[in-house]
Structure 1
Amino acid sequence: MAETEGGAVTRRKRPVQRLLSANHSPPEPEKPRREAELRCHRIQESLLSSASGFSNYRGVLNWCVIMLVLGNARLFLENIIKYGILVDPIQVVSLFLKDPYSWPSLCLVLASNIFILGSLQLERRLASGGVPERVGLFLYTIILSSILCIPVLVVFTVPSITPVGAVFALSVYTILFLKLFSYKDVNLWCRERRRTQVRALGRTQSVPLIQRSSGDAGKQSGVMYPGNLSHRDIYYFMFAPTLCYELNFPRSSRIRKRFLLRRLVEMLFIMQLLVGLIQQWMVPAIQNSMKPFRDMDYSRIIERLLKLAVPNHLIWLIFFYWFFHSSMNFVAELLRFGDREFYRDWWNSETVTYFWQNWNIPVHKWCIRHFYKPMMKCGVPKWAAQTAVFFASAFFHEYLVSVPLKMFRLWAFMGMMSQIPLAWFVGRFLRGNYGNAAVWISLIIGQPVAVLMYVHDYYILNYGISS
């Protein structure tokens, strides 16, 4: 009975075991699992090594920004405690005007319309054949030379013009020089192309004043040479945020009012911020640097230089954003100017050449189009053409500093020309992050050196050694 019952019990348990075996898989072999537990290492690089391929440093970037804000906040608080509030918006007006009844800088800017209208009339005579090309080139040489020379004469002969007002006027005339140079070249290329077409046809070809491109009604109409020789066209080019002339600029479909308002608010706020930082931070640092320069105390000079480097570089970065992003985008949006590439990623520059090619796109395009490529077509070696571009840039840097200060020290010129050997050294011996660090160091240290040299010489020249 027990056996029968035991057998019955045994027979009743077997279906249960089969059910459990169906629901649960058999245990895995323990040997592979034990080997996986024994091995916990593999060949790999540390994250901070370049060979690791890791690129997500967002946390480090946030940390750098926080440390930068805290460090500058401490310096700014120390400045307030030491000097008090130095910000005075009314003082800015005196930088432009000595005599409230005299506006020499503004009058000089308004007088630039003479050169604009003169260039337009000359182009019309050249298009109609009333003026030969050689005579037109001679007259353009006079116009462009006068644009650079007349402001210099005004600055040195009119005592009421201030250095800041002179910088503003000379900047306008420098932009005018570059724009009219491009205007001359493009119209010359149009005349040459038209003469080529006439010779190819073998007969006289009359070109309509304005010829519009065929297409849908919604598409923009194109203007053909010489239909571009109008007051509206040349003044649009004068105000457009570009230095390179075209007969038909790319245009946006409409004016975005919210975008325009944001840029306007940025312009007004950042302008006040720049004025405040210069008055509160830069001016005391520069004034405290005069005595070490006078005493030739080199250790103190280096200390003052490094102290000045922080506010100078911060102000330069803020100015870059104000001018190249806020201001130029505001003007472009107002004029519906389509090309908004005013700068590229210059902050990633691993070579000095890359920085100068990408931080100021309007000037870079002008140099390539009207200076570098024409020299290359004439057979000038590449290195000589690049050196000539740096030389021209150095001339205009010195022109915009020495003339307003009424002294010639060539610090800006030598600073620009020193970029040539620096570019060779960085491109030859430094790569990647090391090259980028070298570019940043040259920007942070180079500018304060030039500022201190000019301010020191200006004070010595105008106020004497005792000041």
Structure 2
Amino acid sequence: MGDWDPAGGAATRRRRATLTASRTASLQPANGRSPAACDISATAESSANDGQRRRERSVETVRSKARGDKKKQRRNDLGDRMSCHKTQESLLTSTSGYNNYRGVLNWCVVMLVLSNARLFLENLLRYGVLVDPVQVVSLFLNDPYSWPAACLVIVSNVFIVASLYTERQLSKGSFSELVGFLVHCINFATMLTFPAAVVLLVPSVTPVGGAFVLGTYTILFLKLYSYKDVNLWCRELSTIKAKKLARSLSCPSPHTLNGGELKVCYPGNLTIRDMYYFVFAPTLCYELNFPRSPKIRMSFLLRRLFEMLFFIQLLVGLTQQWMIPIIQSSMKPLEDMDLSRMTERLLRLAVPNHLLWLIFFYWFFHSSMNFTAELLRFGDRQFYKDWWNSETVTYFWQNWNIPVHKWCLRHFYKPLLRRGFSKIISQSAVFFLSAFFHEYLVSVPLRMFRLWAFTGMMAQLPLAWFVGRFLRGNYGNAAVWMSLIIGQPFAVLMYVHDYYVLHYREE
């Protein structure tokens, strides 16, 4: 320490100055940049490195996950090879929950077409072509210069005007309620008895023409009865000064409907135009303001018109070519009371009769009624529901003919309940009324009274009880179909046999 070397100290100081200068030079920015810029550059490089490391880690994670999935799939494949059974039901078992039988339905349709094609070909080979459109005209007109059926339809306007006149007098107070009720009763009784008397007493009225006339008068009877009831309800509501009434009855002040039309109020509905709109509308239940469609769809109207023309020709052709030969060949077994041959003829008649009934249903309830509704812009097009899914007889009668069901419910069944009758008695009364009109529409045109139609309708009561009590689901649906397929041709054979014995047995 005491011996200090000046030369050595100077060398040491020079080395320290050189190290300091080199460190300072390493911290100077490149290309003249500031230290802050250098820091930002360093940070960016660090971030880029971090992003690259994250991407590498994510790729590695995906690869490891893929390797894990492959391992899991290999394990599952090995498990599937080891075990191929599990707890499950057969498809045709009711507890399996399977309900897609589209292929079976297609198979049934193909088999039905093939079997009926064979029957049709056999019919042609045996009888030849029996379709004769000219013969259909003779069913309506025996004498081309005498049209009693058409004249009776024209005369029905007298009963329409009489009902309208009575309601007008009741609205003005010129008739008391008792007098109006008596006038309506006389009008309704005459509507049912007058055309029946003409059909029975005038020989030129054919059975087909008579059935058409009586069907027209029956529909008109139900319409005018509903017209009388609704106007009576309007007067009752006016009497108690109801402030807010249902659209189907009356209204305190004019309103606008959805179609932009003025809402009609009682007694403003008592006009010729309103009456005849209801007469031609496809419904039996009267309202002051029917739901209206916005416009007439010409394409829809033309499709329904084409269906009407096509199916009516198909009905006539199948009746002449298929039904009549079977009925004619059934007369001898019926006359001889050969039970086995009668059963065979009944089963032969069941298929064409049921097919014609289905075609008639589509022609009348879908094509014809939709055509009329579209022409009149009538909004309510629910003329039928899914009666083909009926699991009870009661459900079928409630859904296959909605206009009649609505009328019975509104003007017959519910009034009986309000008067204190039980549901069983009210339902029986509805079936009794339906049975009466069925017999009325069949026996009077044929000019014979055998009560087959009446008995068939009343037999629906015990059948409805049996099916509802003991059968459910598909079994109930099958029972309804069996009653339709077998019951109708049985009644047809009975009437045809009695008509044949009564008129053509000697020939």
Query: TM-score by structure 1 length?
Result: 0.91
CA separation of 1:276 and 1:224: change in aligned 2, threshold 3 A: same
| Equivalent position of 2:179 in the other structure | 135
1: distance between equivalents of 2:321 and 2:482? 24
- Structure 1: which 5+ residue stretches go unaligned? 1-17, 201-207
- Is the CA contact 1:126–1:133 (under 8 Å) kept in the aligned structure 2? yes
Q: Do residues 445 (structure 1) and 490 (structure 2) align? A: no
Paired position in structure 2 for 1:123: 167
SS at match of 2:145: coil
In structure 2, the partner of 1:231 is 272
**After superposition, where does 1:196-345 map in structure 2 within 5 Å?**
196-197=240-241, 211-213=253-255, 219-345=260-386
Q: How far apart are 1:34 and its partner, in Å? A: 4.0
Residues 404-463 of structure 1 show CA distances to partners (whole Å, capped at 9, x for unaligned) of: 000000000000000000000000010100000000000000000000000000011112
Q: What is the alpha-carbon distance in structure 2 between the residues aligned to residue 166 and residue 145 of structure 1?
A: 18
Q: Is the 8 A contact 2:164 2:275 kept in 1?
A: yes
Deviations 1:78-135 (A, max 9, x none): 0010000000000000000111110000000000000000000000000000000011
- Alignment partner, residue 167 of structure 1: 211
Alpha-carbon separation, structure 2, partners of 1:31 and 1:106: 85
Is the contact made by 1:350 and 1:436 (CA closer than 8 Å) also made in structure 2?
yes
Q: How does 1:33-432 map to 2 (within 5 A)?
A: 34-197=78-241, 211-213=253-255, 219-432=260-473
User: Relative to structure 1, is the Cα distance of residues 25 and 105 closer, same or farther in structure 2, using a 3 angstrom cutoff?
Assistant: same
Unaligned runs of 5+ in 2: 1-59, 244-249
CA change 1:440–1:98 in 2 (3 A) is: same
Q: Distance in 2 between matches of 1:459 and 1:88?
A: 22
Q: In structure 1, what is the Cα distance between the partners aligned to 2:338 and 2:221?
A: 43
Q: Assess, with a 3 A threshold, how the Cα gap between structure 1 residues 23 and 56 changes in structure 2: closer, same or farther.
A: closer
Q: Report the Cα distance in structure 2 between the residues aligned to 1:132 and 1:167, rounded to whole angstroms.
A: 37
TM-score by length of 2: 0.84
- Is contact 1:211-1:227 (8 Å) kept? no
Corresponding letter in the other structure for 1:174 = T
Q: Deviations over 1:352-375 (max 9, x none)?
A: 000000000000000000000000
- Aligned equivalents of 2:86, 2:435: Cα separation in 1: 55
Q: What's 2:71 paired with?
A: 28
Q: 1:31 to 1:112 in 2, by over 3 A?
A: closer
The alpha-carbon distance between structure 1 residues 169 and 28, as it changes in their structure 2 partners (threshold 3 A), is same
Counterpart position of 2:37: none
Which amino acid is the alignment partner of residue 273 of structure 1? L
Pick from 494, 498, 505 the counterpart of residue 457 of structure 1.
498
Conserved in 2, the CA contact under 8 Å of 1:266 and 1:322?
yes
Asked if the contact 1:115–1:143 (Cα under 8 Å) also holds between the matched residues in 2, the reply is yes
Shift in Å, 1:212: 2.5
State the 1:50 CA deviation. 1.5
Judge which range, 38-47 or 118-127, deviates more.
38-47
Name which of 451, 459, 474 aligns with 1:433.
474
Distance in 2 of aligned mates of 1:94 and 1:264: 24
CA distance 1:122–1:215, shift in 2 (3 Å): closer
TM-fit CA distance, 1:43 = 1.9
**Shift of residue 285, structure 1, vs aligned partner:** 0.4
One-letter amino acid of the counterpart of residue 290, structure 2: F
Deviation at 1:38, TM superposition (A): 2.5
Q: Using the alignment, how far apart are the partners of 1:32 and 1:321 within structure 2?
A: 56
Distance in 2 separating the partners of 1:184 and 1:229: 11
Q: Distance in 1 between matches of 2:237 and 2:279?
A: 24
Larger radius of gyration: 2
Is residue 210–residue 223 contact of structure 1 (8 Å, CA) maintained in 2? no
1:438 is matched by which residue type in structure 2? A
CA shift in 2, pair 1:68/1:24, >3 Å:
closer
Q: In structure 2, what is the Cα distance between the partners aligned to 1:136 and 1:68?
A: 56
Partner residue, 1:5: none
Query: 1:209-235, CA deviations, whole angstroms, 9 ceiling, x for partnerless residues?
Result: 99520588x633210000000000000
Which one-letter code corresponds to 2:453 in the other structure? A
| Cα deviation digits, residues 242-287 of structure 1 (max 9, x gap) | 0000000000000000000000011001111100000000000000
CA contact (8 A) 1:182 1:243 kept: yes
| Aligned AA (1:150) | F
Deviations 1:332-365 (Å, cap 9, x if unpaired)? 0000000000000000000000000000000000
Counterpart in the other structure of 1:13: none
- Does the 8 A contact of 2:257 with 2:263 survive in 1? no
2:422 counterpart letter in structure 1? P
Amino acid at match of 2:339: Y
Q: Deviations over 1:144-190 (max 9, x none)?
A: 01100001110111111100000000000000100000000000000
RMSD, aligned CA: 2.1
Deviations 1:54-96 (A, max 9, x none): 1111111111111111111110110010000000000000000
Shift of 1:379: 0.6
Residues 134 and 54 (structure 1), Cα distance of their counterparts in 2 relative to 1, 3 Å cut: same
Counterparts of 1:353 and 1:38, CA distance in 2: 56
Q: Which amino acid aligns with 2:207?
A: P
Q: CA deviation at 1:33?
A: 5.2
Question: Which amino acid is the alignment partner of residue 455 of structure 2?
Answer: M
SS in 2 for 1:316: helix
Matched residue SS, 2:260: coil
